[in-house]
């Protein structure tokens, strides 16, 4: 049994599908602060399997202990957390509370229950403005906002925990830019309000919910002047978690079993590359205008995915065309996300 915190969220729900398909039992622990129970119904529909749901908040240590005991989980995948950069600048305390305190309570509960296998959702945002590309895991960490700093603090907390007790097995996964959707078109990204991130915004332009895309800056030192990112298909990303669980299962106390691993493709695409690929996938015109740079944005960011390959035997398989096609399938079938209008 795997306990998945934040399992109803975008990456969490896709990971639940892959876990169930691989034969794992799954208990989702979620407070639905930024997700919908409908996502879990769809997960069951896709897999034709049942999962167990516990509605709760990671900051509630008692609820966490109860969930670990009831589920009899052998490992935790911890997705629950807040993730909007702008919101974290305006309201940092909720980020430290949800993300850092939430994880602290979770690991206290795990200690209490003698449960010691954890896969944690981190982000490439911990690197900040890259000094050197591609980004390897030993690149210096210099996050530029409270969201990124909350992820870095959690990483440090987990490494300290491992140093104090080598029977913990921990995988810290640094995601690049997750996009796309399950190819059933039943689950996908469903941001509340106006999307901050590129692909969900483009998807809403294609479906007619937004008029036009603002391209934040065309004067970056990149091939076409627009920002370059390492977009990774959410299903590839989900499979990375299964590989991490496998790697932790065989990790022994002799080997380092606190792993920090990039999950990216190693390939960068510009904003305009994404727009063109989305136009092709959706057969829609995506109107855009060039706008000033978004404060805090960087020119380019892409992974060195070698460690994931060497240590996990994982590598991304799906390309930009599949990311856009699957995103469009989800968006066109569910123009208003999980909430039916
Ligand atoms: C953002 C977050 C990052 C987080 C990641 C999750 C910021 C500054 N960073 O990364 O911490 O981990 O999402 O996926 O928010 N763009 C436009 N127009 C738009 C939206 C985006 O031109 O309406 C451009 C951006 O300038 C950037 C690229 O598209 O060049 C990707 O942006 P986005 O999807 O927001 O991801 P990141 O900024 O890489």
CATH number at residue 306: 3.40.50.720
Interhelix angle 102-112/146-164, nearest 10 degrees: 20
pLDDT at 251: 79
Q: Which of 276, 297, 272 is nearest to 285 (CA)?
A: 276
Instruction: Report the separation in Å between the CA atom of 273 and the middle of ligand 1, taken as the mean of its atom positions.
Output: 14
Residue 288 catalytic? Answer: no
Count of structural domains, the chain:
1
* DSSP SS3 for 224: coil
Would you state the structure tokens that stand for residue 52, as one six-digit string?
């167990």
Q: Consecutive sets of 10 residues in the chain, 341 residues long: mean pLDDT of each?
A: 98 98 98 97 98 98 97 98 95 98 98 98 98 98 97 98 96 98 98 94 96 98 98 98 95 79 98 98 98 94 98 98 98 92 54
Task: Give the pocket of ligand 1 (CB within 6 Å).
Answer: 85, 123, 125, 147-148, 177-178, 196-198, 201, 213-216, 227, 229, 271, 294, 296-297
Q: The whole model's pTM is what?
A: 0.97
**Ligand 1 closest atom vs CA 213:** 23
**Ligand 1 closest atom vs CA 175:** 12
Tell me which residue range forms the domain holding 79: 2-340
Q: Which of 122, 85, 86, 132 is nearest to 302 (CA)?
A: 132
- Tallying the residues shown for the chain, one arrives at 341
Helices within 208-265 (DSSP H only): 234-250
pLDDT at 29: 98
Catalytic choice (147, 175, 220, 302): 147
Dihedral-angle region of residue 208 (phi above 0 means left; psi in -120 to 50 means alpha; beta otherwise): left
């Amino acid at each position: 049994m795997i306990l998945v915190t934040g399992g109803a969220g975008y990456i969490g729900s896709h990971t639940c599908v892959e876990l169930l398909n691989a034969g794992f039992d799954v208990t989702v622990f979620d407070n639905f602060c930024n997700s919908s129970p409908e996502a879990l119904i769809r997960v069951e529909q896709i897999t034709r399997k049942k999962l167990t749901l516990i509605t709760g908040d990671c900051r509630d240590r008692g609820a966490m202990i109860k969930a670990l005991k009831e589920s009899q989980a052998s490992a935790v995948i911890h997705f629950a957390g807040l993730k909007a950069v702008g919101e974290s600048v305006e309201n940092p305390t909720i980020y430290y509370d949800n993300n850092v305190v939430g994880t602290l309570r979770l690991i206290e509960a795990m200690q209490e229950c003698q449960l010691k296998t954890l896969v944690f959702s981190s982000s490439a945002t911990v690197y900040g403005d890259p000094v050197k590309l591609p980004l390897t895991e030993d690149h210096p960490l210099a996050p530029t906002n409270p969201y990124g700093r909350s992820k870095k603090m959690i990483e440090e907390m987990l490494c300290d925990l491992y140093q104090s007790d080598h029977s913990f097995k921990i995988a810290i996964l640094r995601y690049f830019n997750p996009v796309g959707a399950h190819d059933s078109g039943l689950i996908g990204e469903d941001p509340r309000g106006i999307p901050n991130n590129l692909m969900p915004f483009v998807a809403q332009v294609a479906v007619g919910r937004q008029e036009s895309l603002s391209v934040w800056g065309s004067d970056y030192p990149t091939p076409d002047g627009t920002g370059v990112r390492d977009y990774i298909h959410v299903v590839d990303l989900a499979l990375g978690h299964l590989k991490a669980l496998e790697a932790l299962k065989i990790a022994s106390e002799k080997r380092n079993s606190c792993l920090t691993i990039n999950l990216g493709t190693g390939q960068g695409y510009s904003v305009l590359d994404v727009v063109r690929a989305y136009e092709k996938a959706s057969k829609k015109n995506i109107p855009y205008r060039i706008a000033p740079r978004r404060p805090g944005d960087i020119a380019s960011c892409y992974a060195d995915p070698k460690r994931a390959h060497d240590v996990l035997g994982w590598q991304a398989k799906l390309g930009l065309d599949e990311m856009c096609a699957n995103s469009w399938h989800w968006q066109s079938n569910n123009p208003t996300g999980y909430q039916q209008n």
